[in-house]
């Protein structure tokens, strides 16, 4: 299932095509030609062997959304297909506009259905007869038959129904809330065709009611929901391991008199779950949490002045070493950028740091064109605001050099890395004299000048170890490249020694699922294959790397495809 919003349809539909097996490289090329992109995406959707459901949410300007076409026309984004189901939510009730689509008018639930939905969440569908308190039953009637509001309020009643001294307090608060709920629900009932903002207001009041019950007992719950609203955008699942209490300590989540222990954090998420605000998936080490897209959206829009503290907490989380989820990181950086641009402006140093993080996450996901556009905008603002020799300029130029390397544009790469080296040699404050040299060594290596690359990488490793120590992550990145040079020259002993030393550090920090850790494991598997010819051992290692790359980077990332190609070649060798 894919949930799309009108404001990001091109990127979203290209991602849908990629998820269904289309080439990421082709998708990148299609971004420049939206009309051709529509044809390309739908060709893959029509031909998909995997059944799909696409939900276009809040399409209230359908002709504008379809670039002057009518939904259902051959070249429109919204089309039908025998390969899957297209669903559109809209407030535009004009059958002639949507024909030949089947139009289903959604109205608020009636009283009996409202009570049934409320009861499902208050008592559970298998709980047998359950008599709702009068106040709770009255709420089920008064919220206007909005299913999500009924679910949330029912979850509250269920959470406090048995064995909890707070139940009477919850019912008292329900009673006090009825007038407010009436006022908010009235426009939903009166003007069904244009009720978006009123519905969000009603849901917002319902969530405020839920959170107010938690504020005294679980003060961490409200700020945790706010942090998750930046991470679980459009229903993205967030791994529980990506919410370490060590990083959250001292942030907005570290609220109340209790120390932020694992138990306190788990209690906060379980309280939100009991109130229907958070969903928890999986078990054990594979637990993830997510928010309903509407919950995430409204939670962010209600932050006000609190957005700054939430953005800081989220930035700490995604910048911390540990597990990688590039989709979550990119979505979170977009939210941080929006919050900081609104509060501080686009050229404030904290905003620029977030914009750089967004560009980096986009680049790591393989979207080279979008990343280049973002980095160029960051570079322009860094230079205009802080001067051409600011450390942020140096860092951004380095990433533009990396992009040039990916495109085999050696001239552009060398220009960027030399400029970085010149800035470092000039003594740019807070920077060390090796970033540009690392880039220049990489260019020499890619062009086949192994002697020059080896000499430069050795010097970079020496400088980094001298300044930062042998277990510094940056030192390991240069040592990884030194291992690749040794492997290319047939020096298997030195290559293996380098890669094992790198893994000894990277598997601790940034962690076993980091893209760089996986890249080093891939290179080590190549060494083992070259050294022994043991295709079975090498194949097992490549398969382990591939499984993690598909989860972390996606099936169409260039590194994932490279590992898959290596496996295919090994399997073909085994057949011959």
Locate the DSSP E strands across 457-501.
Answer: none
3-state secondary structure (DSSP) of residue 239 = strand
Kindly state the tokens that stand for 549. Answer: 């790359």
pLDDT at residue number 63: 75
- Chain-wide mean pLDDT for the chain? 81
φ, ψ for residue 238, nearest 5 deg: -110, 120
Instruction: For residue 210, give Cα distances in angstroms to 170, 275, 321.
Output: 9, 6, 34
Q: Which residues contact 293 (CB under 8 A, 6 or more apart)?
A: 3, 57, 233, 234, 235
Cα–Cα distance for residue pair 428/366, rounded to 1 Å: 30
Q: Which CATH class is domain 221-317?
A: mainly alpha
DSSP H or E stretch at residue 2: strand 2-4
3-state secondary structure (DSSP) of residue 85: strand
Cis bond upstream, residue 100 (ω within 30)? yes
Cβ pair 77, 66 in contact under 8 A: yes
* Residue 461 · residue 497 · CB < 8 Å: no
Tokens standing for residue 431: 């920077």
Residue 101 phi, psi dihedral angles, 5° rounding? -65, 150
- The pLDDT of residue 164 is above 60: no
Three state DSSP letters for 422-454: HHHHCCCCCCCCCHHHHHHHHHHHHCCCHHHHH
Nearest CA to 338 out of 330, 348, 326, 346 is that of 346
**Phi, psi (rounded to 5 degrees) for 2:** -130, 130
Beta 238-239 vs 288-290: how paired, if at all?
antiparallel
- 72 φ, ψ (degrees, to nearest 5): 100, -15
What band does 182 get if pLDDT is binned at 50, 70 and 90?
very low
**Using CA atoms, how far apart are residues 535 and 528, in angstroms rounded to an integer?**
9
Whether the per-residue pLDDT at 348 is higher than 90: the answer is yes
Residues 385-411 have a mean pLDDT of 90
Among the listed residues 393, 385, 456, the one whose alpha carbon sits nearest the alpha carbon of residue 419: 393
Q: What is the pLDDT of residues 67-106, one digit of tens each?
A: 667 786 667 788 888 899 999 888 788 887 887 888 888 7
pLDDT value, residue 195: 46
The predicted-structure confidence for 310-342, as pLDDT tens digits, reads as follows 999 999 998 876 656 788 899 999 999 999 999
Average pLDDT over residues 12-34: 82
Helix (H, G, I), strand (E, B) or coil at 289: strand
């Amino acid at each position: 299932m894919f949930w799309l919003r009108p404001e990001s349809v091109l990127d979203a539909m290209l991602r849908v095509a990629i998820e269904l097996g289309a080439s990421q490289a082709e998708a990148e090329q299609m971004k420049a030609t939206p009309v051709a992109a529509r044809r390309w995406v739908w060709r893959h959707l029509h031909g998909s062997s995997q059944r799909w459901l696409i939900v276009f949410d809040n399409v209230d300007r359908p002709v504008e959304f379809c670039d002057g076409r009518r939904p259902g026309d051959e070249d429109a984004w919204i089309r039908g297909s025998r390969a899957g189901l297209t669903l559109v939510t809209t407030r535009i009730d004009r059958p002639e506009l949507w024909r030949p689509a089947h139009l289903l008018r959604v109205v608020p639930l009636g009283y009996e259905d409202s009570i049934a939905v409320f009861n499902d969440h208050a008592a559970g569908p298998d709980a047998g007869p359950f008599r709702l308190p009068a106040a709770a039953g009255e709420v089920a009637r008064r919220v206007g038959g909005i299913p999500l509001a009924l679910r949330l309020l029912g979850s509250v009643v269920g959470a406090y129904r048995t064995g909890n001294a707070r139940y009477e307090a919850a019912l008292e608060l329900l009673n006090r809330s009825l007038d407010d709920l009436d006022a908010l629900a009235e426009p939903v009932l009166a003007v069904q065709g244009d009720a978006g903002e009123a519905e969000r207001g009603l849901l917002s009041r319902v969530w405020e009611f839920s959170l107010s019950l938690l504020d005294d007992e679980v003060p961490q719950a409200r700020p945790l929901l706010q942090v998750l609203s930046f991470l679980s955008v459009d229903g993205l699942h967030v791994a529980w391991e990506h919410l370490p209490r060590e990083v959250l300590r001292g942030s907005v989540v570290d609220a109340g008199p209790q120390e932020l222990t694992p138990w306190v954090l788990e209690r906060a998420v379980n309280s939100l779950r009991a109130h229907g605000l958070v969903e928890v998936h999986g078990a054990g080490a594979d637990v993830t949490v997510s928010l309903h897209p509407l919950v995430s959206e409204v939670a962010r829009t209600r932050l006000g002045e609190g957005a700054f503290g939430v953005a800081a907490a989220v930035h700490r989380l995604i910048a911390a070493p540990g597990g990688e989820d590039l989709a979550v990181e990119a979505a979170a950086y977009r939210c941080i950028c929006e919050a900081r641009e609104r509060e501080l402006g686009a050229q404030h140093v904290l905003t620029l740091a977030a914009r750089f993080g967004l560009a980096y996450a986009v680049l790591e996901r393989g979207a080279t064109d979008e990343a280049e556009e973002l980095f160029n905008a960051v570079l322009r603002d860094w230079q205009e605001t802080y001067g051409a020799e600011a450390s942020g300029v140096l860092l951004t130029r380095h990433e533009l050099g990396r992009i040039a390397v990916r495109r085999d544009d050696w001239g552009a790469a060398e220009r960027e890395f030399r400029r970085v080296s010149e800035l470092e040699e000039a003594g740019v404050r807070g920077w060390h004299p090796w970033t540009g040299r690392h880039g220049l060594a990489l260019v020499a290596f890619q062009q086949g000048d192994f002697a020059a690359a080896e000499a430069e990488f050795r010097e970079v490793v020496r400088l980094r170890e001298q300044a930062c120590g042998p277990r510094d992550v940056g030192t390991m990145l240069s040592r990884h490249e030194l291992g690749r040079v040794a492997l290319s020259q047939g020096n298997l002993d030195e290559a293996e020694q380098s890669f094992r030393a790198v893994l000894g550090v990277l598997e601790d920090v940034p962690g076993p699922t980091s893209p760089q850790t996986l890249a080093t494991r891939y290179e080590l598997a190549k060494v083992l294959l070259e050294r022994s010819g043991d295709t079975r051992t090498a194949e097992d290692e490549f398969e382990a790397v591939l499984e993690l790359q598909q989860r972390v980077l996606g099936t169409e990332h260039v590194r994932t495809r490279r590992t898959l190609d290596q496996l295919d070649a090994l399997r073909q060798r085994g057949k011959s």
